[in-house]
Structure 1
Amino acid sequence: MSDIIKSHPESLGEIVIAPQVVETIVAIAAAKVEGVYALRNKRFADRIGKKADGRGVYVQQTDDKIIVDIYVYLTYGVSVPNVAMEMQRVVKDNVRDMSDIVIDDVNIHVSGIIPEKTPKPDFKELFDEDFLDAD
């Protein structure tokens, strides 16, 4: 996948943002939505890879359109449509606020519902150990 390029007429040049950056913003925003239990990898290769930054999040850029697919497990008892719409809103807002990139479509794929008695994973377990460090 190629880099996401953002150009402004008043700027001094192009701003190039790696798709992994957008995936990471999306993953963190989606994981923080109430009712989301965890993100889920779609492909087997993603599960065995060392980098887990944007797992469960896939960004596609075609021409001038950016599409995000998010695969999630939800907590039992939540309204699936409400959680999905909240995820779409939060993801679009966070990506726009942090990178000035407008996401055209946010597709939510609910992979399963997790029973109430299953403990929710710690937020830090969703990413690599050094990912959340402020270095």
Structure 2
Amino acid sequence: MTTDTRRAEFHEAVAAHRLKTGSARSDRPLRVAGVLLMLIGVAGAFVAYNASLSQDDLRDIASSQVLATAFAAVSIAGAGLYIAAALAQVLRIWLLRQLIEGQARTDQLAEALRPVERTEAADARS
């Protein structure tokens, strides 16, 4: 079975169950915010660190380095937001696939048990 065939069957199963798959749109703002925070954090940390290199007073240098560390923390928070949103999308698709496959297995077992039930009912009447 090719990947395209499996993908088409998956889309058909999702359409047959009338499941909502549009909730991934709610993850998009988190991913964009995460990317923006990462960019702002890296750029701010770089600027603050470079500014600390041109200062002579140790208190000013320490202040700039604290600011650079804060921007690094903002960058890490942005990475966390991005990873959480991306992971939520992957887990949503995985759960949807598990639900569809579980329903298919249940249907298959129910179909396999139907002849047994009919045979047992016929034996009970005899």
TM-score by length of 2: 0.27
Larger Rg: 2
TM-score by length of 1: 0.26
Bigger fraction of residues in strand: 1
The structure whose RCO (Cα within 8 Å, separation 6+) is larger is: 2
